[in-house]
Structure 1
């Protein structure tokens, strides 16, 4: 015959089952009504553009070096005055991300010196064909917004690279100059005081 301790142990085990039996179900109707993703969710990568349409990627390959899964391939090339794709000396001639390998860690974002690479909230990347999981530069580039011109074209935000990058802080469409400074508690009229 069983002793009282064994019976209590089996009742305790069923206690967990019974406690979950009457809870609200958390099943979602995924394809019909997907839940919203978290705002900082790391999904599909995007190669960003400057406000005039030039690419922010300078083909430095730091993202490829930082990728622990070896999922990024970048081949840089030199800009010329006749064909300018980015404001710097170089641009990414070939840019590929293999989503069959990518682990969505975000280390490539941290390595990017121009903040050209960001991640969207898009997560539906499944495919039957492994070749379709290799996204090319054309698939990763951000779309052209109104006022942007398809590269190659000359720099439109300044004559030099320094004008271009420093001028981008106060480009049309953003009033980031004063608002950005106020955000960090810095008064532009007072030097070095917070």
Structure 2
């Protein structure tokens, strides 16, 4: 490498200052978080979500496969049996207790791959900081997806004439009048009744949807 002359040595600091001055007048690229939401990719691994079927029943069947797949031991599940008066999910069982410890979770998404009913997915929500350790252990009510318009809050019977297979295939697209009537009898003050009743009037019969 050729040796620099005395003139080049004298001008070297000026060249360094030139880079500084050039960037001093360039456009700022700093993200203004938290005043502006930070953009994330669509498949970003954020907070988990427990999903529901279109009629409002929960997709989680309490199989605990997500807990077994978790390499950080961050998930705890307790299952319970569905009954005629307490039907929370299609089939025999549902997740009575569901906890995710975000002090341990490494957001690897192995739990998502293990879930047989697509009950567990990951959202783009990454704001999980909190003032206490207990607050970072999310319970089932923290993870359940919000009720979409037209859903009927569980518990309530399955769509008449169906098994869990029809639910898994996506053939249940809305609550039925029979389900709405059952909730109206047992929980007349349920806030989801009006929207579910309107959805039941316009829904196609189960099994006749376009595939």
Q: Contact between 2:53 and 2:172, CA under 8 Å: does it hold in 1? A: no
CA distance in structure 1 between the partners assigned to 2:21 and 2:114 by the alignment: 45
Q: Deviations over 1:135-162 (max 9, x none)?
A: 1001100111232222111002643223
Please give the alpha-carbon distance, in whole angstroms, between the structure 1 residues aligned to 2:155 and 2:94: 11
Task: Go from structure 1 to structure 2 and tell me whether the alpha carbon gap of 1:59 and 1:26 turns closer, same or farther (over 3 Å shift).
Answer: same
Q: Which residue of 1 aligns with 2:19?
A: 18
Cα offset for 1:18? Answer: 3.2
State which of 113, 121, 124 in structure 1 corresponds to 2:124.
Answer: 121
Aligned to 1:171: 173
TM-score, scaled relative to structure 1: 0.76
Q: In the alignment, is the contact (CA less than 8 A) between 2:55 and 2:173 conserved in 1?
A: no
Is the contact between residue 157 and residue 164 of structure 1 (CA under 8 Å) also seen in structure 2? no
How far did residue 24 of structure 1 move?
4.4
Counterpart-to-counterpart distance in 2, 1:25 and 1:96 = 42
TM norm structure 2: 0.70
- Determine if contact 2:88/2:155 at 8 Å carries over to the other structure: yes
Aligned-partner SS, 1:162: helix
Gaps (5+ residues) in structure 2?
Answer: 175-202
Q: Deviations over 1:84-105 (max 9, x none)?
A: 1110211101000011111111
Give RMSD over aligned pairs: 3.1
Where 1:97 maps in the other structure, the secondary structure is: strand
Change (3 A) 1:157 1:47: farther
Deviation of 1:34 after TM superposition, in Å, equals 2.4
Aligned residues: 173
Question: What is the SS of the residue equivalent to 2:99?
Answer: strand
Kindly state the Cα deviation for residue 126 of structure 1 after the two structures are TM-superposed: 0.5
Asked if 1:39 is matched to 2:42, the reply is: yes
Pick which of 112-121 and 23-32 moved more. Answer: 23-32
- Is 1:62 equivalent to 2:65 in the alignment? yes
Gaps of 5+ in 1: 179-194
CA deviations 1:39-90 (Å, max 9, x no partner) are: 1111111100011111000000010111111110001111122211110211
CA contact (8 A) 1:169 1:177 kept: no
